[in-house]
Amino acid sequence: MKDVSFGQYYPVESPIHRLDPRIKLLAVVLYIVGIFFIRKFAGFALLAVFLLIVVLISRVPPLKVLKSVRAVLFLVLFTVIMSVLFYATKTEEPLWQWHFIKIYKQGLINAARMGLRLVFLVLGPSLLTLTTTPVELTDGLESLLKPLAMIKLPVHELAIIMSIALRLIPTLLEETEKIMNAQKARCASFDTGNIFKRAKALLPVLIPLFVSSFRRADELADAMDSRCYRGAKGRTRMKVLKLRARDFVAAFVMLALFAVILFLRYNWFGWAFLAVLI
């Protein structure tokens, strides 16, 4: 669990770290939308090359980014297997058949697309949290959602909640590992038996984890209250967010990538979008 990188910040000096958090948040949103437009494997290859370049520029170890996939590896495998087994068509001959189980070529292609989408959906946001501090994420999110404050939406409080949730992910994982090690020292086993026995064995872990989480939340609330935290009213910032030339360059690169993705999906629309950008 300590190897899960989602929610962790990797402190290093790089151009990606210095980007405005608002640009990075919008880039991730555009990145996620673009993933669902990709239908060809050439698009996934392009996205992989783009991510590799960003990782190299950010100076974050590539293995640390890839470790974020471990948290959803079971979901990826389950999705791929279900997509292969339950794909059915009347216009294609099966590649392999055994009783009622039939495997089609198009089913394998669809399963590969689904698996790649899930992997890329995890890698992008993980890179965001690795290169952006929780404070920067809070400020960026609050700035982007500021227009919603006109309809009395508590924008600052929502941003603080999301920031605290991201910050506590590594802490909860570390706490879980400590509890599991303590239970193993008392001869508890989490690796033997069927799936139901393993799920039952997790009960002695979940109960103290919930108790620890509520205690930590109570202590955090007391700490914020003792520092006179009263929400967004009257609050100032030591660092005011300002867009710089590198932020506009990053935004243009992300829009260009999105245009190429659209071109791979809808040729005419992608070219038109690219022409507008140029």
**What string of pLDDT tens digits covers the 278 residues of the chain?**
555 555 678 889 999 999 999 999 999 999 999 998 888 888 899 899 999 999 999 999 888 888 888 878 888 888 888 877 777 666 667 677 777 777 777 888 888 888 899 999 989 888 888 898 888 888 888 888 888 878 877 888 888 887 788 778 778 888 888 888 888 887 777 777 677 777 777 778 888 888 888 888 898 889 888 887 877 676 777 777 888 999 999 999 999 888 888 888 776 555 555 555 55
Q: Give the global pTM.
A: 0.77
Which amino acid, residue 258? F
Please return the burial class of 147, using the count of CB atoms within 10 Å of its CB with bins 0-12, 13-18 and 19+: exposed
Q: Per-residue DSSP letters for 127-148? A: HHHHHS-HHHHHHHHHHHTGGG
Q: 46-56 burial, b for 16+ CB within 10 Å, e for fewer?
A: bbeebbeebbe
- The phi and psi torsions of 97 (rounded to 5 degrees) equal -145, 140
Mean pLDDT of the chain: 82
